[in-house]
DNA sequence: TTGTAAGCGTTATCAT
DNA sequence: ATGATAACGCTTACAA
């Protein structure tokens, strides 16, 4: 240990770098000064070994490059960095399944917490593999106007972030209906995605309440290309629709482009389109998309709060945070 | 150590997990089986302490959420994961400067290598702070038709990836000129960005060679909104242009939208537009952008090769890889 | 092939 | 307020 030889003794250095330890201020200052000159930084691996805290947060995503994910990772990384953590990124295979291999692989890095944006894994499996790290789920509970369901009577069984979609979807449907839409289609996300099925459930409820019947189902997978092709199908093979509600913004872009460039229909005059997420690209003039916004900053703050609370009280009961959605009105409904 | 109590002795477990050690096959198999049952994984922090290899690769970016960066991070994470590494993500402040604080912070995590996509930091500084990790630069050398300059006579001074832009830019200018463009504007990237200034230099050279004079300079910063506003300015306050070459695709989208939606000009009939990068969004029908492509997979493979070669031979001279660019022709020139 | 012992850089405990 | 010592979980000599 360099700093020590240049200076005084051993553990003093450790104390100098830990705020809540007793050390004469002048001594601390001296040590920090020498440390800086010697370009010394405490080794977090060694620290992790004894403290049990790696200050690493594992983030598992299927696609870093989809705009919503990347914007979330961006915000999350910033927030974690401010709290002294670093983001450790892992990608699932294309099939969205988070297999045991990846989990085991990640476990080796000893993350303090794991945020799973992938839904196709049972909480029990994640918790089983990662004995040390605490997993956090993004959950889309079933809702009504009155509030949201709790499948587990006494609070959640795992730490989770509830995303409440009712308000935003209700507003979206109301707007489309207000502009005369009667035959409403829903473009799904990827097969069995929790986010997409929750959106579908809520949409069905809202539409039924408003006398709009059932949505016309269009199968997508959150990507542009699939949305584009599915929309062409809907109008060429199927009976079309006068409004399309997409499970995410990128899908909505595919719908709009298929409508305008392939089917020569006007948006919003002939067909209205609403998306979900409100990503950066949604305000681009070519799309100018009306969409249900999830407040990213709020969502990320909630996530970070969850992590910090859990780490400061490892034995606490399951934690929970809740964020809302709301409609952002732009130019694709009118 | 759990696995040991359940089984036989101590170091045997370590050997079981390291392929190139001598251990009776049946014993290894037994240990691995027991380990799996006990959900045991070797602790990489502890391993890093003694081996000096953390298997962490630090990636520093200004914006995870810009499409190009996120696509690169995505590909890189996949590639690193396949080689037994994990991506450790760090974000610079908005001003693009990579201050010593961040570097020191990162150093604490002991990455084996660092990829700096940020350009506003001197190689000497990076190398000085990160004594253990090897930094890798993305470099845009000055080029002519004949080849590219080496500012350093005997190969590079630091490991780096050279991105050769001449071919792609030459093709782009030829295409625009071929369709009758005479007054060509260049939309820059962010102030003092190496990528942007290298593109500008090459563009000037190519234009001069083709008798097109100097480009009309339009100041951007790689973002959509700035590109949009700058384009409106160029045509409302300035004298316009009949072709715009943007330093990146997102900027090109801003140009196109300003042209079409604000200035009521047609692309490509009235103004031709070319971008740079070929991101996923560039083939979206609303833009259908003609652009200079950097082959992402090739680029990422080169980066990973650089890392692996450096780690396997820490004392080797400075390493170098080179990737090309080429024009992808779509619908914004014609 | 296998086990023993030492040590990687840090912090917690117990002294002083 | 400060120092000595042990321990965190692992790997790499060296010895058997």
Share of chain B above pLDDT 70, in %: 93
B128, pLDDT greater than 80: no
Which range has the worst mean pLDDT, A35-44, A122-131, A217-226?
A122-131
Rounded mean pLDDT of A64-73?
Answer: 91
What is the structure's pLDDT at B121? Answer: 67
A63, pLDDT greater than 90: no
Give the nearest partner residue to B86 out of A70, A109, A285, using CB atoms: A109
Share of chain B above pLDDT 90, in %: 60
**What φ, ψ does residue A198 adopt, rounded to 5°?**
-65, -40
Which range has the worst mean pLDDT, A226-235, B74-83, B154-163?
B154-163
For the beta carbon of residue A200, count every other beta carbon within 10 angstroms.
19
Measured CA to CA, the distance from residue B4 to residue B245 in angstroms comes to: 64
Measured CA to CA, the distance from residue A65 to residue A75 in angstroms comes to: 14
What is the structure's pLDDT at A125? Answer: 76
The domain total for chain A is 3
Which range has the worst mean pLDDT, A83-87, A93-97, A314-318?
A93-97
Tokens representing A222 are 């959150």
Instruction: Say if residue A199 is in the same domain as residue A278.
Output: yes
pTM of the entire predicted model: 0.92
Distance of CA B303 to CAs A126, A153, A179, B137, B306, Å? 32, 51, 52, 9, 5
Q: Give per-residue pLDDT as tens, B214-233.
A: 999 999 999 999 999 999 99
Instruction: Say if residue B197 is in the same domain as residue B222.
Output: yes
3-class DSSP state of A90? strand
Instruction: Say if residue B281 is in the same domain as residue B181.
Output: yes
Domain assignment present for residue A278? The answer is yes
Nearest to B247 by CA among B271, B277, B226, B269: B277
B292 or B12, greater pLDDT? B292
Domain assignment present for residue B327? The answer is no
Mean pLDDT of the residues in chain B: 90
Measured CA to CA, the distance from residue A142 to residue A204 in angstroms comes to: 12
> How, if at all, do strands A320-323 and A272-277 pair?
unpaired
Domain assignment present for residue B334? The answer is no
ω into residue A268 within 30 of 0, thus cis? yes
Q: What angle do CA B260, A256, B225 make, to 5 degrees?
A: 45
A25 or B248, greater pLDDT? B248
Q: Return the residue in B3, B90, B101, B109 with the most chain A beta carbons within 10 A, the one to mutate for interface testing.
A: B109
Using a 7 Å CB cutoff, list residues 45-104 of B near strand C.
46, 49-50
| DSSP for residue A51 | H
Nearest to A81 by CA among B46, B108, B122, B81: B108
B35, pLDDT greater than 90: no
- Categorize the per-residue pLDDT at A103 as very low, low, confident or very high, splitting at 50, 70 and 90: confident
Mean pLDDT of the residues in chain A: 90
- Categorize the per-residue pLDDT at A7 as very low, low, confident or very high, splitting at 50, 70 and 90: low
What is the structure's pLDDT at B148? Answer: 79
Rounded mean pLDDT of A2-26?
Answer: 79
For the beta carbon of residue B297, count every other beta carbon within 10 angstroms.
10
What is the structure's pLDDT at A127? Answer: 75
A61, pLDDT greater than 80: yes
Measured CA to CA, the distance from residue A24 to residue A13 in angstroms comes to: 12
Share of chain A above pLDDT 70, in %: 93
A14 or B150, greater pLDDT? A14
Instruction: Say if residue B305 is in the same domain as residue B156.
Output: yes
Contacts of A64 (CB under 8 A, 6+ apart): A70, A73, A89, A91, B64, B70, B71, B73, B74, B77
Nearest C-alpha in B relative to A254: B284
A140, pLDDT greater than 60: yes
**What φ, ψ does residue B290 adopt, rounded to 5°?**
-80, 130
Instruction: Say if residue B193 is in the same domain as residue B76.
Output: no
Measured CA to CA, the distance from residue A331 to residue A125 in angstroms comes to: 44
What is the structure's pLDDT at B151? Answer: 67
Measured CA to CA, the distance from residue A7 to residue A10 in angstroms comes to: 9
3-class DSSP state of A256? helix
B179 or A14, greater pLDDT? B179
What is the structure's pLDDT at B3? Answer: 63
What is the structure's pLDDT at A168? Answer: 97
CA distance B155 to chain A (A): 28
* Distance between the alpha carbon (CA) of A4 and the C1' atom of D5, Å: 17
Q: Give per-residue pLDDT as tens, A31-43.
A: 888 888 888 889 9
Asked whether residue A273's C-beta has any atom of DNA/RNA strand D within 7 A, the reply is no
* Distance between the alpha carbon (CA) of A7 and the C1' atom of C2, Å: 43
Instruction: Say if residue B158 is in the same domain as residue B174.
Output: no
Which range has the worst mean pLDDT, A185-189, B1-5, B139-143, B214-218?
B1-5
Segment (H or E) for A201: helix A194-209
A97, pLDDT greater than 70: no
For the beta carbon of residue A157, count every other beta carbon within 10 angstroms.
14
B211, pLDDT greater than 90: yes
Nearest to A182 by CA among A261, A241, A107: A241
> Is-contact B161 B192, C-beta < 8 A?
no
Which range has the worst mean pLDDT, A263-272, B127-136, B291-300?
B127-136
B126, pLDDT greater than 80: no
Nearest to A276 by CA among A266, A256, A290, A297: A290
Asked whether residue B49's C-beta has any atom of DNA/RNA strand D within 7 A, the reply is yes
Q: Give per-residue pLDDT as tens, A234-246.
A: 999 999 999 999 9
3-class DSSP state of A127? helix
Contacts of A180 (CB under 8 A, 6+ apart): A242
What is the structure's pLDDT at A60? Answer: 87
Nearest to A117 by CA among A137, A103, A132: A137
Domain at A210, CATH number: 3.40.50.2300
Asked whether residue B27's C-beta has any atom of DNA/RNA strand C within 7 A, the reply is yes
Name the nucleotide with the smallest C1'–CA separation from A47.
C10
Instruction: Say if residue B172 is in the same domain as residue B240.
Output: yes
What is the structure's pLDDT at A269? Answer: 97
B68 or B93, greater pLDDT? B68
- Categorize the per-residue pLDDT at B275 as very low, low, confident or very high, splitting at 50, 70 and 90: very high
Nearest residue by alpha-carbon distance to C1' of D11: B50
Instruction: Say if residue B217 is in the same domain as residue B71.
Output: no
Nearest to B273 by CA among B258, B291, B294, B286: B291
What is the structure's pLDDT at B274? Answer: 98
Which range has the worst mean pLDDT, A10-24, A163-177, A288-302, B260-274?
A10-24
Domain assignment present for residue B332? The answer is no
Rounded mean pLDDT of B39-44?
Answer: 89
- Categorize the per-residue pLDDT at B129 as very low, low, confident or very high, splitting at 50, 70 and 90: confident
What is the structure's pLDDT at B96? Answer: 57
> Is-contact A302 A321, C-beta < 8 A?
yes
Instruction: Say if residue B124 is in the same domain as residue B173.
Output: no
Domain assignment present for residue A177? The answer is yes
Contacts of B96 (CB under 8 A, 6+ apart): B62, B118, B119, B120, B190, B193
- Categorize the per-residue pLDDT at B283 as very low, low, confident or very high, splitting at 50, 70 and 90: very high
For the beta carbon of residue B166, count every other beta carbon within 10 angstroms.
21
Distance of CA A99 to CAs A4, A102, A109, A118, A127, Å? 46, 6, 17, 11, 13
Nearest to A113 by CA among A59, A74, A52, A46: A59
Measured CA to CA, the distance from residue B200 to residue B247 in angstroms comes to: 8
| DSSP for residue A270 | T
What is the structure's pLDDT at A32? Answer: 87
SS (H, E, C) chain B: CHHHHHCCCCHHHHHHHCCCCCCCHHHHHHHHHHHHHCCCCCCHHHHHHHHCCCCEEEEEECCCCCHHHHHHHHHHHHHHHHCCCEEEEEECCCCCCCCHHHHHHHHCCCCCEEEECCCCCCHHHHHHHCCCCEEEEEECCCEECCEECCCCCCCCCCCEEEECCHHHHHHHHHHHHHCCCCCEEEECCCCCCHHHHHHHHHHHHHHHHCCCCCCEEECCCCCHHHHHHHHHHHHHCCCCCCEEEECCHHHHHHHHHHHHHHCCCCCCCCCEEEEEECCHHHHCCCCCCEEEEECHHHHHHHHHHHHHHHHHCCCCCCCEEEECEEEECCCCCC
A277 or A3, greater pLDDT? A277
Query: What is the domain extent for residue A94?
Result: 52-162+296-322
Tokens representing B221 are 């910063």
Name every chain B residue with its beta carbon within 8 A of the beta carbon of A103.
none
Which range has the worst mean pLDDT, A54-58, B131-135, B283-287, B289-293?
B131-135
Asked whether residue A18's C-beta has any atom of DNA/RNA strand C within 7 A, the reply is yes
Domain assignment present for residue A216? The answer is yes
**What φ, ψ does residue B113 adopt, rounded to 5°?**
-150, 160
Domain assignment present for residue A199? The answer is yes
Instruction: Say if residue B9 is in the same domain as residue B68.
Output: no
What is the structure's pLDDT at A260? Answer: 98
What is the structure's pLDDT at B95? Answer: 60
Rounded mean pLDDT of A313-320?
Answer: 85
B146, pLDDT greater than 80: no
> Is-contact A87 B88, C-beta < 8 A?
yes
What is the structure's pLDDT at B98? Answer: 65
What is the structure's pLDDT at A133? Answer: 79
Instruction: Say if residue B288 is in the same domain as residue B306.
Output: no
Angle between helices B249-257 and B67-82 (to 10 degrees): 150
A214, pLDDT greater than 80: yes
Nearest C-alpha in B relative to A57: B88
Rounded mean pLDDT of B224-250?
Answer: 98
Domain assignment present for residue A330? The answer is no
Contacts of A241 (CB under 8 A, 6+ apart): A183, A184, A185, A216, A234, A271
What is the structure's pLDDT at A38? Answer: 85
Q: Tell if the CB–CB gap between A89 and B77 is shorter than 8 Å.
A: yes
Q: Where are the beta strands (DSSP E) in chain A?
A: 56-61, 86-91, 113-116, 134-139, 143-144, 147-148, 160-163, 184-187, 216-218, 243-246, 272-277, 290-294, 320-323, 325-328
Q: Give per-residue pLDDT as tens, A255-312.
A: 999 999 999 999 999 999 999 999 999 999 999 999 999 999 999 999 999 999 988 8
What is the structure's pLDDT at B2? Answer: 62
3-class DSSP state of A249? helix
Contacts of B325 (CB under 8 A, 6+ apart): B163, B164, B165, B167, B168, B169, B292, B293, B294, B295
What is the structure's pLDDT at A20? Answer: 82
What is the structure's pLDDT at B133? Answer: 79
Instruction: Say if residue A140 is in the same domain as residue A232.
Output: no
Asked whether residue B286's C-beta has any atom of DNA/RNA strand D within 7 A, the reply is no
Which range has the worst mean pLDDT, A58-62, B51-55, B133-137, B223-227?
B133-137
């Amino acid at each position: 240990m360099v700093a020590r030889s240049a200076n005084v003794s051993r553990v003093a250095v450790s104390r100098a770098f830990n705020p809540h330890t007793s050390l004469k201020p002048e001594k601390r200052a001296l040590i920090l000064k020498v440390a800086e000159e010697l370009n010394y930084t405490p080794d977090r691996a060694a620290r992790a070994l004894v403290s049990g805290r790696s200050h690493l947060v594992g983030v598992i995503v299927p696609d870093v490059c989809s705009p919503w994910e990347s914007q979330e990772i961006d915000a999350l990384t910033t927030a974690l960095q401010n709290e002294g953590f670093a983001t450790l990124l892992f990608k699932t295979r294309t099939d969205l399944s988070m297999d045991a291999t990846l989990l085991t692989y990640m476990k080796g890095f000893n993350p303090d917490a794991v945020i799973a944006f992938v839904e196709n894994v049972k909480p029990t499996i994640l918790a089983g593999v990662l004995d040390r790290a605490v997993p956090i789920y993004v959950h889309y509970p079933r809702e009504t106007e009155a509030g949201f369901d709790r499948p587990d009577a006494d609070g959640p069984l795992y730490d989770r972030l509830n995303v409440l979609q009712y308000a935003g979807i209700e507003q979206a449907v109301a707007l489309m209906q207000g502009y005369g839409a009667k035959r409403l289609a829903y473009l799904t996300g990827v097969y069995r995605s929790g986010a997409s099925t929750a959106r579908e459930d809520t949409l069905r409820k809202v539409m039924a309440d408003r006398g709009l019947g059932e949505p016309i189902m269009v199968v997508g997978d959150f990507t542009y290309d699939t949305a584009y092709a599915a929309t062409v199908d809907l109008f060429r093979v199927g009976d079309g629709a006068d409004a399309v509600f997409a499970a995410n913004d990128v899908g909505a872009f595919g719908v709009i482009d298929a409508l305008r460039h392939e089917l020569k229909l006007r948006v919003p005059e002939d067909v209205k389109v609403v998306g979900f997420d409100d990503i950066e690209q949604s305000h681009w003039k070519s799309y100018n998309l009306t969409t249900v916004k999830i407040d990213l900053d709020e969502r990320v703050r909630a996530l970070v709060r969850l992590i910090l609370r859990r780490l400061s009280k490892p034995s606490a009961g399951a934690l929970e945070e809740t964020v809302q959605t709301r409609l952002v009105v732009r130019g694709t409904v009118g």
